[in-house]
């Protein structure tokens, strides 16, 4: 998802990211959809490394 945000930013599009990408939250192949969405939100807030996959693995 973060790569998609980067693509959207570099595209210079005037529409919102959700309008540009038009994909909503769904289960991921890895089964980490919550973590994926949390990291996406943190990335959007400028804090992408606040929570890491290592932390998620320790919690899980």
For the cut 60, the answer to whether the pLDDT of residue 52 exceeds it is yes
pLDDT for 30: 64
* Residue 14 burial (CB count, 10 A): 7
For the cut 60, the answer to whether the pLDDT of residue 54 exceeds it is yes
pLDDT for 10: 86
DSSP per-residue string spanning 4-54? HHHHHHHHT-SS-HHHHH-------TTS-HHHHHHHHHHHHTT-TTSS-HH
Confirm whether pTM is higher than 0.85. Answer: no
> Which residue did the predictor score with more confidence, 27 or 21?
21
């Amino acid at each position: 998802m973060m790569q998609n945000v980067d693509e959207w930013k570099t595209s210079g599009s005037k529409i919102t990211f959700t309008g540009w990408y038009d994909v909503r939250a769904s289960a991921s192949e890895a089964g980490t959809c919550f973590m994926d969405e949390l990291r996406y939100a943190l990335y959007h807030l400028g804090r992408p490394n606040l929570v890491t996959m290592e932390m998620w693995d320790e919690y899980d």
